[in-house]
Structure 1
Amino acid sequence: MKNILLVFSIITLSVCSNIQPSKSTELVNKKGITQTHDKYLPEGDLIPVENLQKDLLDLKIRLDTIHPDPSFTMDLAEVKSQIDKLSIGILAPMTQLESWKHLSQLNPYFQDGHMMIAYPNAKKHMNAHIDNGGRIFPVKVEIDESHRLFVIDIKNIESGITVGDEIFSINGVAVSEVVKAILSRMHGDTDTFRRALASDRFSQMYWMLYGDKGDYQIGVINNSKKSFYSIVGRKKISADQTIDLDDIVQRKILDDRIGYLRIDRFYYAPEHETAFFQFMKESWQAFHNANVQDVIIDVRKNPGGTDHYWQQGIAPYVASEPFLFLSKFKIRMTERNLHLGPFKGDLGSIVEAPYEQLVPVNGHENLRIPGKAYLLMGPLSYSSTILFLTAFQDSGQAVIAGQSGGARSCTTGRIDISNFSGSKLELVLPTLIFTRPSGKDLCHKSIKPDLFIADVPSDPAIAVAKLAKIIVTKR
């Protein structure tokens, strides 16, 4: 897709009761200069009731005029009913932050990782908060099917907490309440996918809802024994604007003539794009020089991006013949889509047609691997990564391994981002629906891997080792 997948049951406002008003605190930086930083997202000015209700009315209109087919992902009648309930529930003016807490409760109902009501520039606000000395929730966690919270990484944490511990409270608030507050505002195709996203973004969502606590009082259960630990919040994160290519791609040569590539995204800053394709070219040359027979391509944490990265950087080196990556498409002809092309139509119309263009694979025959490509998927694989996986699975030119995250195997894309006139919150929604090469029958089901290998978030190497053993036995 030409768009970046954005990295972001109706309940009453009582869920927000533990969310405190915006506060500031003072600190002294390394140069001895006193600074202030907000412990919460900016509250914003009060927004009149009628303006907020107009935002919700506009949401209904945009669903009908910008989305190509809302019923593909959601129960449209139910969504509009919930919109009405939220509108009736606005009894007093709200700040922008309060309006996000209220309106974002619609996100699960959209049932799409490409559609949400978002707080504008939330991640930039969090990065700025951390740059100014703020601290966020420090533990990496996973939310399970029962909505319990488990520790999956204790790197840089000095305490008695161990991987696998269940967290039952944070700063005196029951985890069940915290998880409910986060999941009730999380976008995503299914509950399984929303849990994966919420787990991955737990620190950010906790900060957006509960603020910066500085020190975090965490209650855990280990072997039926309850313990409490006080842990200093994390003060550093990997901001997109400072990330290095080495942080998101990796190449290794494993035993038994197996190559390994980890690719954590299919979108890059302009200064990284050339470096990405150079990295890929060097990787295939290195595999050729090492007489690699089969390759594992790990996209378990890849949320998608732009298709040309995998079509040019991977397909020619593993596929033996050109192949489809779609069977048909359905698109709303917005001004942006008319500009981007290649689809044509009248402004506002919906165009639906077969897609017959093949992904070319010529030009690198000398570096093509002699064996098979094994694409390792995981709960966070999404968007263009879904297209990547289904294209290779349906063409039979790669083996899909790993564990599905519950996302539909026919994805949406070409997101439209606009701001409501009242709250100025962002509305993100798709303008394009893709049908996988094999057709619509499997669209609403998640990708079924050819080889199921459970994802172990606390130790990603386990799945790679298991897959490598299987590869050897199948030769």
Structure 2
Amino acid sequence: MKSLLFLGIVILGIFNVQSKEIDIERGIKFPPKGDLISVKDLQNDVAELKTLLLTVHPDPSFTMNIKALELELNKLTQTIVAPMTQLEAWKHFSLMNPFFNDGHMVITYPEYEQRLNQHMDNGGRFFPLQVRIDKSQNIYVTGVENVNENINIGDKIAAINGVAAAEIVGNILNRMHGDTVSNRRAFGAQRFAKMYWLLYGDSHNYQVDIDDNSELRRYSIPGSDNNTVRDNSDISDFVQRKILKDDIGYIRIDRFYYSSEQEEPFFNFMKQSWLEFRDANVQDVIIDVRNNPGGTDHYWQLGIAPFVAQKPFSFLSRFKIRMTERNIRLGPFKGELGTIAEGSYDELIPIEERNDLRIPGKAYLLMGPLSYSSSVLFLTAFQDSHQAVIAGESGGARSCTTGRIQTSIFDGSKLELTMPTAIFTRPAGQELCKKPIKPDILILDEPSNPNIAVTKLAKSIIDRR
């Protein structure tokens, strides 16, 4: 009887965020709940997760505490004592995400983008404020575009729709993926509106309590109808260039992944940037990847490296990769299907000796808490080869990254599991793998005013000439 009572308490704890679903009078719109899934099917999904860890992941121990993970997986199975809807299943299964300790491994609510687009097309909205989450799990406002003029950047949010900020942050971070706690905080802040919709729904208007020196100010603000999830954006939404004072060029690149329609415009943008910098006699360049979560390496290997590097340089020192059908097709690694290939990686990023558009000075790569995946490879390749100076601050991501992600769909719940199939070791070797990138120039980021870090870095460049 005691064990049954304990399981009941655990279940109530897991689904405490769902108490908001009964608040129909406020007109809250939740994501589709989905069909009811049987206990057997849900437990089979846990077994499937275990199998995928053994057959798809190249080495779970690289990021995970295996014993702790096994305990959590057993707890996950034990607490499945009643059928769940798909949304309930996501709230339950996503509690595993922090235990993967990897920004490339996550259990997600299926077809999120499509369902959010449908929600927005039907007049829905989502939480409108941009925020950051500090080490004490407080929420601070970093963006207030088209929001109540009385809410200011830097304001501390005490509650949203009557739910304490600490409870909201706890429920988000308990389901957030990422390499480390600080990495998960950064991702949680970036995905705050998305996670809020999944956990608390859309109230159309949001009651936001601001903590003003221990006095609460409450404001009602409309939700945002600006859907940034749709991937039909113009390339200018992700890249920017300008020429700063003292012959310094600046390029901001917010991603290394683009649709087939966006790829040519990206490379045209980069070519035009180097042409303009040459014509303006730019000496040094800042490449800002603070908000770049990664993507595909060829964007920086072809669009950046030839114009800032002086000679061919290493991309990786070692690799460990599961030979999936996709990895066999992509190469250059070789092996039998299902096996693990590993070894040293000796290929260099080619750099032509003569390039009229190469900058005469140095490249300064500005990183931040959201720099991840291919951005980590970009930063470590340039740092370890001394082809660029790294500035900014780390968000806690490991400097040796996983990659080559593969998405699987659980048979029972149809939840999506994204998992890496490769582990890449930076050129400097394994000794630094578990540590974050250490910048050559430490510049703390201010999310509410990104220009501050750029100004500080420009001053440092002048001082170093």
Measured against the shorter chain, the TM-score band is: over 0.9
- State the distance in 1 between where 2:372 and 2:417 align: 20
Residue 441 (structure 2) aligned to one of 436, 451, 454 = 451
1:16 is matched by which residue type in structure 2?
Answer: F
- State the distance in 1 between where 2:251 and 2:17 align: 44
1:39 Cα deviation after fit: 1.4
1:81 Cα deviation after fit: 1.3
Residue 213 (structure 1) aligned to one of 203, 214, 217 = 203
1:390 Cα deviation after fit: 0.1
In 2 relative to 1, CA 38–417 (structure 1 residues): closer, same or farther, beyond 3 Å?
A: farther
1:384 is matched by which residue type in structure 2?
Answer: S
Once the two structures are superposed, residues 264-286 of structure 1 have per-residue CA deviations (whole angstroms, 9 ceiling, x without a partner) of 00011111111111110110010
Once the two structures are superposed, residues 237-296 of structure 1 have per-residue CA deviations (whole angstroms, 9 ceiling, x without a partner) of 223422110110001000000000000000111111111111101100100000000000
SS in 2 for 1:367: coil
- State the distance in 1 between where 2:140 and 2:314 align: 40
1:231 Cα deviation after fit: 0.8
- State the distance in 2 between where 1:257 and 1:364 align: 22
Question: Which residue in 1 is equivalent to 2:395?
Answer: 405
- State the distance in 2 between where 1:148 and 1:24 align: 29
In 2 relative to 1, CA 89–295 (structure 1 residues): closer, same or farther, beyond 3 Å?
A: same
- State the distance in 2 between where 1:24 and 1:64 align: 43
TM-score normalised by the chain length of structure 1: 0.93
Alignment coverage as a number of residue pairs: 455
Once the two structures are superposed, residues 99-131 of structure 1 have per-residue CA deviations (whole angstroms, 9 ceiling, x without a partner) of 000000000000000001111111221122112
Task: Say whether the 8 Å CA contact 1:23–1:40 is kept in structure 2.
Answer: no
- State the distance in 2 between where 1:259 and 1:377 align: 16
In 2 relative to 1, CA 12–294 (structure 1 residues): closer, same or farther, beyond 3 Å?
A: farther
Task: Say whether the 8 Å CA contact 2:153–2:448 is kept in structure 1.
Answer: yes
Task: Say whether the 8 Å CA contact 1:260–1:298 is kept in structure 2.
Answer: yes
Matches within 5 A, 1:362-373: 362=352, 365-373=355-363
Residue 369 (structure 2) aligned to one of 379, 391, 403 = 379
Residue 293 (structure 1) aligned to one of 283, 286, 289 = 283
Once the two structures are superposed, residues 446-474 of structure 1 have per-residue CA deviations (whole angstroms, 9 ceiling, x without a partner) of 00000000010000000000000110111
Question: Which residue in 2 is equivalent to 1:177?
Answer: 167
Between stretches 202-211 and 332-341, larger displacement belongs to: 332-341
Whether 2:56 is the aligned partner of 1:66: answer: yes
1:153 Cα deviation after fit: 1.3
In 2 relative to 1, CA 13–433 (structure 1 residues): closer, same or farther, beyond 3 Å?
A: farther
Question: Which residue in 2 is equivalent to 1:350?
Answer: 340
- State the distance in 2 between where 1:136 and 1:240 align: 14
Between stretches 133-142 and 118-127, larger displacement belongs to: 118-127
Q: Which runs of 5+ in 1 are unaligned?
A: 1-10, 26-36
Between stretches 128-137 and 464-473, larger displacement belongs to: 128-137
1:334 Cα deviation after fit: 1.4
- Please identify runs of 4+ aligned residues in structure 1 that moved more than 6 A: 22-25
1:339 Cα deviation after fit: 2.1
Question: Which residue in 2 is equivalent to 1:45?
Answer: 35
- State the distance in 1 between where 2:217 and 2:24 align: 31
Task: Say whether the 8 Å CA contact 2:28–2:204 is kept in structure 1.
Answer: no
Between stretches 162-171 and 254-263, larger displacement belongs to: 162-171
- State the distance in 2 between where 1:402 and 1:440 align: 23
Residue 89 (structure 2) aligned to one of 88, 99, 103 = 99
1:336 Cα deviation after fit: 1.9
1:15 Cα deviation after fit: 4.4
Once the two structures are superposed, residues 423-455 of structure 1 have per-residue CA deviations (whole angstroms, 9 ceiling, x without a partner) of 010111000000000000000000000000001
Task: Say whether the 8 Å CA contact 2:113–2:230 is kept in structure 1.
Answer: no
Question: Which residue in 2 is equivalent to 1:17?
Answer: 16
1:346 Cα deviation after fit: 1.4
Matches within 5 A, 1:196-211: 196-211=186-201
1:401 is matched by which residue type in structure 2?
Answer: A
Residue 69 (structure 2) aligned to one of 51, 73, 79 = 79
Q: Which runs of 5+ in 2 are unaligned?
A: 1-9
2:15 is matched by which residue type in structure 1?
Answer: C
Residue 246 (structure 1) aligned to one of 225, 228, 236 = 236
Question: Which residue in 2 is equivalent to 1:395?
Answer: 385
RMSD across aligned positions (CA): 1.7
1:56 is matched by which residue type in structure 2?
Answer: V
Task: Say whether the 8 Å CA contact 1:21–1:43 is kept in structure 2.
Answer: no
Between stretches 336-345 and 422-431, larger displacement belongs to: 336-345
Task: Say whether the 8 Å CA contact 1:16–1:209 is kept in structure 2.
Answer: no
SS in 2 for 1:151: strand
Once the two structures are superposed, residues 401-439 of structure 1 have per-residue CA deviations (whole angstroms, 9 ceiling, x without a partner) of 001010000000111111111101011100000000000
